[in-house]
Structure 1
């Protein structure tokens, strides 16, 4: 039986499942609408879809590293509550996602969700749907990043039991354990200070122009004379760049050093060159607008 767009739309409206899942279900049951709905429910897809509107802003960040420290991944998987995020089964799921990303090539979340789940026949999406149906709250694989270095090593750091994760790629000819130690120190720095850029060379002109204008207006609003505002802005801009550029930041473990000086010290000691090539910091829920819940109102609705 031919599967029409109207049939797919009807199933989607009734179940809330994704369009491709609806079409696949209809195809499997030769267009029988009721059997397609049952199939979607059996797979947990309808139930998962109904929960997809809930805000999942909790969760975990985790990472996976290759044995030679030349490739690594970092992932964020969200849940609705911190309670679920602390569940051992959820923790294993997040770790398995990180392993899957490391072992496969994925351009985006969509391609990752279509990958086979580690040591299973189901896809990542199918395993996720099953967990949503079992646990009873919305979850989603939000983002991932994969690092690779040809000459160098990658280090990582997880903070707060998975609330913040950082990967740091160092380009260097040395394979010393001190490189990994340096990378972890830098990752801890990034976790604590959250720099926007690695160095001043990475700062885009649009950012500088925008911030300079704000600093200029701030100075004028403070009543500073116009003739000295320019010099003040330059000074304040330099101070701001010191705060947002990783290499210019004061090293959190030793205030007498900047991160740049720390890197140079280790490079001199090991008689090699070291470059901070790439940094990635994931913080659980950052950028997600959390829904404000009113418990009293929720209870009142249930009593009506």
Structure 2
């Protein structure tokens, strides 16, 4: 066979490697060309009237809208994956990479957090303004220490949401898995806020994000632990820190980051992670970014290995013994 379907795992693993390189080199495409921006526009239009419904009806309508959006995205990704795997490998790999790349956003997250530290050169107000681009909390009352804590927390929590979770679901279900997570996480950001307006209509979006983010959040903590080298984190200490946050998932990567750096992180009046740690300094933001880069590299490698090994399972095709594909070993 000359099409990529003969060895779908290796094809998608190669596409992931190329997508990772594209992400690090170019970052995110403009909104006009970004599928997540299109998804956000569609979800915004669909969800405009959901919060106005009575409580009981809003829960059902919110769940129905969630199924419609996530189901549509997943089916589109499945159809695209199937079509691209019919192509020769030389065409399938770059096209799959282009389809996969928008499902994760590591370079953008890395650079936006780095820009917070750089903004301190222009003063605390500039750092606050940059930080406000990355989180929903009010940063105007934060001092320099609070801004750095928030930046490092944002890096850790979104390391899971923006990278590890899509890689995890890619390994489980291929391109449809990665894009299903991206849809789930986008809807949580738009509809899942635990606010009076969305407390009913956004319930399904919030709960689904918690459920599907459960495993990736813990894998994120493991990756940050592995990226730190020889100095380990006691599992019991990490479990204690993770339990301090209201989110069932956010405390895992944030707690791992706090323990690994030896710094104190927190949200005023809500939680404090690694309370015995020191206040973060400018160098700690740079250390957090370096730790994230190493953890991201490990995550990409492990995801590629998993996809290469399990690809034929979720595609539903396994080549006969000795059957290969032109361009791959064994063809």
TM-score normalized by structure 1?
0.20
| TM-score, normalising length: structure 2 | 0.19
User: Which structure would you say has the larger Rg?
Assistant: 1
Higher helix share: 2
Higher strand share: 1
> Relative contact order (C-alpha < 8 Å, sep 6+): which is higher?
2
